[in-house]
Structure 1
Amino acid sequence: MVATDPTLSRELNALREELSTARRERPETAASPPRESSAPPSDPPKDSAEKDSAADEHIREQLGEFIDEATQFFAQAEKSIAAHPAQSVVGALLVGILVGRLLGRR
C-alpha cells in the first residue's frame, strides 16, 4: 500500500467524522416542532421520509466514491512523481509561472 499525504489523510478522516456526526444528529434535528392545535400530531408521509432516506444514502455513496477516487488520484500522482522527479519539478514550475502571470494581470 502506498503511503498517502498525511494532510490528505487527516482531511479525509475529518470528512468521515463529520458525515457520521451528521448521521447521528439528523434524527434529532428532523423531529418536528410541537403543534399548537389540539389534533394529535400525524407522522410525515412515508414517501417523503423514504425519499429523504434514499437521497441521504445516495449522497453517502457519492461521498464515499469521491473519497476513494481522491485517494487513488493522490496515490497515482505520488507514484508518477517518484518515477519522474525532474519532469514533475519542471511541470510544477511552469504551472506556478502560469498561475502567477494570470493572477498578476488583475
Structure 2
Amino acid sequence: MASDQVLSRELKALQEELSAAQRERQATAAAPPIQPPSPAEPVTGAEESGDEKRELRDQLGELANAVTSFLEDAEKDISAHPAQSVAIALVAGILIGWSLGRWGAR
C-alpha cells in the first residue's frame, strides 16, 4: 500500500512538471521569437502543438494506469502466494548474482 502512495506522489509530481513545462512553452510561444526559423525547418502550427500535448497527456495517463494496474496485480499475487513469491525472488536473486559474478570475472 505504501508503494501506491509513493507512486501516486510521483505521478502527481510528473503531472505538475508537465503542466509547468506546458505553461512555459505557451509563454515562450506568446513572446516574439528572437530569430525566425530557417527555411529548412518546417513551421508547425499551434493546432499541431495542441494535438501533441493532448497525445502526450493521454500517453502519460495510460502509462500511469498501466503501472498502477501492474502494481495492484503484483500485490494481489504476492498476498495470495507469499511463500512462492519469496522463493521466486530468492531464485531470481541467486541467478542474477551468479550471472553478474561470472560477467564481472571476464
> TM-score w.r.t. structure 2 length?
0.75
Aligned partner of 1:18 in structure 2 is: 17
CA separation in 1, counterparts of 2:96 and 2:6?
23
**Structure 1: where are the runs of 5+ without partners?**
37-44
Instruction: After superposing the two structures, state which structure 1 stretch, 79-88 or 90-99, moved more.
Output: 90-99
Q: Please list, as runs of the form range in 1=range in 2, the aligned pairs for 1:1-106 lying within 5 A after superposition.
A: 3=1, 5=3, 6-30=5-29, 31-34=31-34, 48-104=45-101, 105-106=103-104
Matched pairs, number: 95
**Structure 2: where are the runs of 5+ without partners?**
37-42
Cα RMSD (Å) = 2.2
Q: Deviations over 1:21-41 (max 9, x none)?
A: 1222220123342469xxxxx
CA separation in 1, counterparts of 2:32 and 2:61?
30
Q: Which has the higher helix share?
A: 2
> TM-score w.r.t. structure 1 length?
0.75
Q: Could you list the runs of 4 or more consecutive aligned residues of structure 1 that deviate by over 6 angstroms after TM superposition?
A: none
One-letter code aligned to 1:99: I
- Percent identity (aligned): 49
